[in-house]
């Protein structure tokens, strides 16, 4: 039996702690969509952008309570934020009503990445990572490019440099995702 426990979310700094990092209107021209915005770097991005005046939308898959907390915190402190449930692997963008035009897309969708085995290659795991970091991202870009969104943020990973043994499938998929970015540019 292989089982994974979703770790408890790390409590990020509160919305107001980011105020001193950005000008009040620094991102006022952004209508931002953050795919995977209910935790981690997605949550931090939402708070920074909203502090700078952006109109922010975040998506979540399993982090309903986390997304409620983030939206409430941002909106109650003068920012603009809304949320959508979106499962990258199972929902279409039309299913979740993500048909609005955004000026910026931030892509932080990810499955649990420390699930590999350093002694073998799992084609199934590689396929899952590839869907997240290549095919679904590509579909997202096509969908929003047609709606005139031209700015996409796709984070890299230290795994490309450090080559952790139990992260072969993840590392290969992220490498391929970065090559996809090169082609898209």
Predicted confidence at residue 155, as pLDDT, reads 87
pLDDT, averaged in runs of 10, over the chain (185 residues): 61 89 95 93 96 96 93 97 92 66 91 76 92 93 83 82 78 92 90
Conformational region of residue 97, where left means phi above 0, alpha means psi within -120 to 50, and beta covers everything else: left
Predicted confidence at residue 185, as pLDDT, reads 86
Computed on alpha carbons and rounded to an integer, the radius of gyration of the chain in Å comes to 17
Predicted confidence at residue 156, as pLDDT, reads 83
């Amino acid at each position: 039996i292989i089982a994974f426990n979703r770790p408890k979310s790390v409590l990020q700094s509160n919305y107001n702690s980011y105020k001193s990092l950005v000008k009040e209107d620094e991102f006022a021209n952004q209508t931002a969509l953050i795919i995977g915005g209910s935790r981690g770097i997605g949550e931090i991005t939402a708070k920074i952008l909203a502090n700078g005046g952006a109109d922010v939308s975040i998506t979540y898959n399993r982090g309903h309570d986390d997304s409620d907390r983030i939206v409430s915190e941002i909106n109650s402190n003068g920012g603009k934020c809304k949320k959508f449930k979106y499962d990258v692997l199972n929902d279409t963008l039309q299913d979740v009503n993500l048909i609005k035009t955004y000026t910026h897309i931030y892509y932080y969708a990810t499955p649990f990445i420390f699930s590999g085995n350093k002694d073998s290659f799992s084609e199934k795991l590689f396929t899952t990572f590839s869907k997240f970091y290549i095919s679904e991202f590509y579909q997202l870009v096509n969908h929003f490019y047609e709606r005139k969104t031209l700015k996409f943020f796709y984070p890299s990973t230290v795994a490309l440099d450090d080559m952790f043994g139990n992260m072969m499938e993840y590392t290969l998929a992220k490498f391929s995702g970065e090559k996809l970015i090169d082609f898209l540019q």
